[in-house]
Structure 1
Amino acid sequence: MTFDLHSTPCFGVAGNFTGHLEQAGEARDFANVKTVEANAPKALFPTYIPIAQGMCIDENAVPVFLHNFPFDSEKIIFPKGEQKIQIEPECALVCEVLWKAGRVVSLEPKAFAASNDCSIRKEGAKKISVKKNWGPSSKGFSSNAIDIDSYAPGGILDRYRIASFLVRSSDVFAYGEDSAVRDYSYIYAKLTDWIVDRLNFQQDEGPAENINAYLQHAGCPSQIMVSIGATRYTDFGEHNFLQCGDKAVVVLYPEDKYSSQEIAQRVKEGSLSAKDISALVQEVVV
């Protein structure tokens, strides 16, 4: 299944795998963010906000750069003037949104896919989103999204794992720790309840932004995409950044059918087109 996200607001979740923010050098950005639980995600951040039909660009309502469509399933364009970018391997959920009186009442995840929430590593960025969307081909979303039968324990997502790799020349390096989707800090109803709360009540403070105001400007859309958090890095992934010519690979695969070794071999062979695998292979270009 393929989704065209051009009319879909897209978001990411910061801090949904323990240890990732520390590895990415971003933990200090959230030092003053208060959460209900120690392992709770830190913020919901925008990566793309489409312009609603009949609306004009208003930089006071939504930062202009967030209107740039950043998703590409085949390439990442290296940001000009930057030195360090990293793969952020994630599971993304395409969700149906129910509204009432200007508030989001519920989210129903309909499909999932491999996502690369690719990020610039630099200090001093006031908002998370500034490091996420630098224009066309700055993020990745797989062209093979998979239907969700039941978004609950025992459903299809319980079977899936997230693997990621950097392919440089003919060498394949594990980039993120191979991780089960069920092992996110927040997942299933706990996660969607948290997202609904952030969509409605997150304020413009610290690295976070007022998401509800953005969604109002986008016309209270009936569908959103949320990339629900990056896995921890391997030692290689933590200390090696993308270069021109590299391939960034993110794979969501069912653990009851494939082993991690089989997936690594498929990456090396370029054979990731199975229907039950959601894969994303992006070449880094200038």
Structure 2
Amino acid sequence: MNLEDLKDYLGFGVAGNFANHLGEAGEADGFKDIKTEQKDAPKGLFPFYIPKDSSHLGNFPYSTHSINHNNIEKLQVEAEVALLCDFKYKNGKLVDLIPKYFGAFNDCSNRVQDGNKLSTKKNWGDASKGIAPEFIKIDNFEEEGILGKYHIASFVRRDGVLKNYGAISAVKSYSYFFTQLKEWMIKQFNNQPDLGPLEGLPQYLETISKHKGLLIAAGATAYTEFGKKNYLQKGDEIFIYVYNAHFHSFEDIKRDMAGDNIHLSQCSKLYQVVE
């Protein structure tokens, strides 16, 4: 993954795409006035990086190796699948999104409840997001394709002790994924209003044709008890794996974190240190 290339991709996240995540993250109240067409639908999309924007969203936030703690009291890992997408834009509308690659992503978030937009808690400058150095090509963005075999796992090692941070989850267990997610995102980009913690999105499409594509963080997994109760501290080590669970065992993942010299050939791995 060439970080320089990502400077010309707009970055957006999906809010509420795993059951109970918003409640565990303390964000549910902010979304109480947002109605969805289906009970399990995501709540909306939010920006975390808009190239050359004059606000905080113009900060290039990605790092493959560190998280900038920035003395934030309540900072949490958000382990996700990121989709690197091409797009088609015609007559003032987004008409298609084409996911091309996927990889491990840390949509690291500030949990201070200040009533501001969700996006203000997502980008505080350099190294406020994590992205795996290696992404995997998508053969077919359907359940029978490669992504239907992948799981997400996340861990934090603190003072030498390794803890599971997020619930190990199959990618296909997202509330919306594959065609359903794609069609929903296109609709949101074209129509999402400014409401509650979410910005209106059509404004960001006005200059989209000047950019290479979109990076979409598909949503964070639920937390373990440790993840719910423990915010990041300087020195913490973060591990996020998006791995083919039909090919790699969980024992392979544990051995990798232990430093064994194994080759995870069907895995996108993110390792970061909180600084």
In the superposition, the TM-score normalised over structure 2's length comes to 0.95
8 Å CA contact 2:89–2:209 kept in 1: the answer is no
**Amino acid corresponding to residue 246 of structure 2 in structure 1:** D
Aligned equivalents of 1:109, 1:218: Cα separation in 2: 16
1: CA distance, partners of 2:235 / 2:57: 27
Moved more, 188-197 or 121-130: 121-130
Determine if contact 1:98/1:104 at 8 Å carries over to the other structure. yes
Supply the AA of the counterpart residue of 1:37. Q
2:1 equivalent to 1:11: no
Q: Which residue of 2 aligns with 1:157?
A: 147
Residue 271 and residue 231 in structure 1: after superposition, are their counterparts in 2 closer, same or farther (change >3 A)? farther
1:74 aligned to which of 42, 65, 85: 65
Structure 2 letter corresponding to 1:35: T
SS in 1 for 2:258: helix
Report the Cα offset of residue 257 of structure 1. Answer: 1.4
- 2: CA distance between counterparts of 1:236 and 1:245? 17
The within-5 A match list for 1:35-54 is: 35-51=36-52
Indicate whether 1:128 and 2:128 are aligned: no
Q: What are the Cα deviations for residues 57-89 of structure 1, in whole angstroms up to 9, with x where unaligned?
A: 5x5xxxx10000000010001124x20100000
Q: Counterparts of 1:162 and 1:98 in 2: how far apart (Å)?
A: 29
1:271 to 1:217, Cα distance in 2 relative to 1, 3 A? farther
Q: Is the 8 A contact 1:103 1:200 kept in 2?
A: yes
Shift in Å, 1:125: 3.4
Percent identity reads: 41
In the alignment, structure 1 residue 224 sits paired with structure 2 residue 225? no
Range with bigger deviation, 250-259 or 267-276:
267-276
Q: How much does 1:205 deviate?
A: 1.5
Q: Which amino acid aligns with 1:21?
A: L
Give the deviation of 1:272 after TM superposition: 7.2
| Residue 92 of structure 1 pairs with residue 68 of structure 2 | no
Please give the TM-score of this superposition, normalised by the length of structure 1: 0.92
In the TM superposition, 1:1-286 aligns within 5 A as 2=2, 4-51=5-52, 59=54, 64-80=55-71, 82-219=72-209, 221-269=211-259, 274-285=264-275
Q: Do the aligned partners of residues 79 and 215 (structure 1) sit closer, same or farther apart at CA in structure 2, a change above 3 Å counting?
A: farther
Taking a change above 3 Å as real, the CA distance of residues 224 and 133 of structure 1, as seen in their structure-2 partners, is: same
- Give the direction of change, closer, same or farther, for the CA distance of 1:129–1:218 in structure 2 (3 Å limit): same
Alpha carbon RMSD of aligned pairs, Å? Answer: 1.5
- How far is the alpha carbon of 1:233 from its aligned partner? 0.4
In the alignment, is the contact (CA less than 8 A) between 1:152 and 1:188 conserved in 2? yes
The code of the aligned residue for 2:8 comes to S
1:160–1:255 Cα contact (<8 Å) kept: yes
Q: Which runs of 5+ in 1 are unaligned?
A: 52-56
Q: In the aligned structure 1, how far is the partner of 2:262 from the partner of 2:193? A: 41
Q: Number of matched residues? A: 274
- Supply the AA of the counterpart residue of 1:279: K
Per the TM alignment, residue 273 of structure 1 is displaced from its structure 2 partner at its CA by 5.7
- Change in Cα spacing, 1:271 to 1:115, as seen in structure 2 (3 Å) is farther
Gaps of 5+ in 2: none
How far did residue 214 of structure 1 move? 1.8
* Structure-2 change in CA distance of 1:125 and 1:265 (3 Å): farther
* Separation (CA, whole Å) in 2 of partners of 1:204 and 1:148: 32
